[in-house]
Amino acid sequence: MGSGIAQKSAQERFNVQMVDREEKWVERGQSIIATLLGEAVERRIFSEAQVEEIQNRIKGIIGTENVNPKTDLVIEAVFEDFEIKNEVFTTLNEVCDKQTILASNTSSLSVNKLAEASGRPDRFVGLHFFYHPAKNRLIEIIPAETTSKESLDAVEQYCKTIGKVVIVCKDRPGFVVNRFFVPWLNEACLLLEEGVATTAQIDAVACEAFEIGMGPFALMNLTGPPIALHSTNYLAEQLKTPRYTGAQNLCDLVEKGVMWEIGDETDCTEEIATVISERLLGQVFAVCSQIVAEEICSMEDVDRGAKVGLRWMKGPFEIMNAIGVNDAYRMATAYATLAEFDLPPFFGTKAESGHAWEFNYVDVELTGSVATVRLNRPEAMNALNETLVVQLGSVLDDLNSNNSVQTIVLEGAGKAFVAGADVKFFVDKLRANAFHDIYEFTANGHAVLNKLESSPKTTIALTTGLALGGGLELALACDYRIGTRRSQFRFPETNIGIYPGLGGTQRTVRICGVEAARWAVLAGNFMDSKIASALGILTHLVDPADVNSTVLTIANQGKPSNKYPGTPMNTEHPVAKFASSFFSDANIPALLNGSCPEGFDEDDRNVSRQLKSLSRTAPIALRMASKLLDEAVQTDGNLEAGLALELSSLEDIFCTADALEGLSALIEGRRPNYTNQ
């Protein structure tokens, strides 16, 4: 775990000290990292040069006492022994400067007790990385009761910067995911012990019931049965729930030091399959209702933990909706009887209502006069769907009318700000011949973005991750856009048969000028943080550690004097200069016809790249996007008129065969074949 955390941090450009007691353990950690990065090179995830850069950011340190005193964050990752951890933190507290935040990567120990023992309880936080830390996107952050807001915010920013989906939860045994997942493993062992079915049958039924790739026994073989036994016994003791005590067959397996034998015969009777699925589902439903009742986290975060951390297709509450909350309650009640605990009353009330669980994807946090609005759908990279757009609009109405709020900050949970609109929605509606629904969704999106555009508050988009298509358009409606080195932007629409329909053809021109807008919109070029800053897509490019202070600085200065300068922020940047010449008015007819403009060398790398990108766009979408960009110039100061033109052309583009082809190809993972129809 320690080497994995070091690797992931270094991959995201943090300088890392990897510390152990002896040189051989440091070298072992470096060897593990080298092996994993070597595999990444073979899979073309990283180049050899990138791997060298990553490894150069990791410095091996022998002895905790030799940690650099000026380290910002120390993450302890020794095994789950309170006394050993306490010893480590005692040394760290003596060595590190006052500003250093200490964190423990723990899956079971009390964060409150660790914080108390750390010597700096206000600058201490629990972190629960999931295996493998360099690959699994989930992390649980567990603040102690004494953790300061500044420390929590800083650690959360670090976690976001390394691309994690964050669940902030209370310090309770098992936290979130292990609280329901570990008893699930043990319940499978009990089903086997009772003779209900074989390991293969239980795994097969579990895979079907939960829509997962590996059943409980296969998962235990992957992570190690001793971990499952230790974890379930810990929960049994801490939660005083004997049902969680490790099954005898699991104890025997661990004592022998062997793995589960899983045969090939998976078929069983429908009756047996029902017993297995209802027992396992009921256990998960019952425990997840406890998690929510104890306010450890929200039901949305429970689902998020299952989908991101365990890679389930649906979260527990989504599964309940799929099978019916009343049936889910029946299964949970049966399990609660076995486990000898009561279900929370809210579960029964919901079951009696006959209604499904309703999910909230927009969270609001008020800090003084600053309201932070978090789009919290990281399992889908915060893609804009009907529910999220409606909820965001409602939140903005409330904040715009709240006199105590002066600044509204938008951010996305996880590694993305917003990765565009939900493309499957468009495909489903087109195949159902229901363009009207697409129009209503887009028109409502325009209305919601206008709540930002016309807001009396200072509006800021924290585009510290990926912002694509509709997500970039959402950010452009804000007064300011703060980015870090991880920020990436793109308008992919012309490549998928449509044009940016939420203001992208209008606001982009008004921000950075028509030539730079053509470079971004027509060719769909990726913009890293430096290019985005040069063009003015980003108004502030800062280090991750400076994001919060930048928000406060902007909040104090208020709304910008000129939101739409109409020219790149840095006209001397190579991209700005190239766009100005290559995407000039005079060259557009040639580019739309697939020709190289006069005066440019087709073999030039920049020129050939743009011509190749333009050749892969849908011809109708390319022409319509170009026309709308021109109309942005013509409407100039009248943004409302430009947006109206963008919206009025929607049917013309979505009713083309190329639009359906491009959108379908995207969700099917293939290259589109455009026919200019």
Closest CA to 366 of 409, 414, 397: 409
Verify whether residue 107 is a known catalytic residue. Answer: yes
Q: What is the mean pLDDT of residues 471-488?
A: 96
Q: What is the pLDDT of residues 585-629, one digit of tens each?
A: 999 999 999 999 999 999 999 999 999 999 999 999 999 999 999
Give the tokens for residue 158.
């670090």
Set 3, 9, 128, 646: catalytic member:
128
Reply yes or no: is the peptide bond before residue 230 cis, omega within 30 of 0. no
Beta-carbon-side half-sphere exposure of residue 374 (alpha carbons within 13 Å): 15
Q: What is the pLDDT of residues 160-217, one digit of tens each?
A: 889 899 999 999 999 999 999 999 999 999 999 999 999 999 999 999 999 999 999 9
Verify whether residue 140 is a known catalytic residue. Answer: yes
Pairing of strands 165-168, 466-468: unpaired
Q: What is the pLDDT of residues 248-278, one digit of tens each?
A: 999 999 999 999 999 999 999 999 999 999 9
Q: Which helix (H) or strand (E) holds 541?
A: strand 540-541
Set 3, 9, 112, 140: catalytic member:
140
Each as own residue / partner, the long-range contacts of residues 302-307 (CB below 8 Å, 24 or more positions apart, any chain) are: 302/176, 302/180, 303/359, 303/379, 304/138, 304/165, 304/167, 304/376, 304/378, 304/379, 305/138, 305/140, 305/167, 305/176, 305/177, 306/177, 306/180, 306/181, 307/379
Set 9, 104, 107, 495: catalytic member:
107
Report the C-alpha gap between 60 and 63 in whole angstroms.
10
CB contact at 8 A, 366 and 402: no
Residue 81 has pLDDT above 90, yes or no: no
**Topology annotation, domain 177-353:** N-(1-d-carboxylethyl)-l-norvaline Dehydrogenase; domain 2 (1.10.1040)
Q: Which pLDDT value is given to residue 131? A: 87
Q: Which pLDDT value is given to residue 456? A: 97
Domain ranges of the chain: 2-168, 177-353, 362-668
Verify whether residue 321 is a known catalytic residue. Answer: no
326 burial via Cβ count (<10 Å: 0-12, 13-18, 19+): middle
Q: What 3 state SS string does 646-663 have? A: HHHCHHHHHCCHHHHHHH
442: left (phi over 0), alpha (psi -120 to 50) or beta: alpha
Q: What is the pLDDT of residues 547-587, one digit of tens each?
A: 999 999 999 999 999 999 999 999 999 999 999 999 999 99
Closest CA to 179 of 244, 268, 264: 244
Domain 362-668 carries which CATH code? 3.90.226.10
Report the C-alpha gap between 417 and 408 in whole angstroms.
15
- Which CATH entry fits the domain spanning 2-168: 3.40.710.10, 3.30.70.260, 2.60.40.10, 3.40.50.720? 3.40.50.720
Q: How many helices (H) and strands (E) does the chain have?
A: 31, 17
Closest CA to 116 of 86, 74, 76, 84: 86
Q: Which helix (H) or strand (E) holds 488?
A: strand 488-490
CB contact at 8 A, 14 and 162: yes
User: Count of CB atoms within 10 A of residue 336's CB?
Assistant: 23
The angle formed by the CA atoms of residues 380, 386 and 390, to the nearest 5 degrees, is 110
Closest CA to 389 of 421, 425, 437, 358: 421
CB contact at 8 A, 497 and 621: yes
pLDDT grade for 223, boundaries at 50, 70 and 90:
confident
At residue 102, φ and ψ (nearest 5 deg) are -100, 140
pTM score of the predicted model? 0.86
Identity of the residue numbered 172: R
Set 110, 178, 382, 548: catalytic member:
178
Verify whether residue 515 is a known catalytic residue. Answer: no
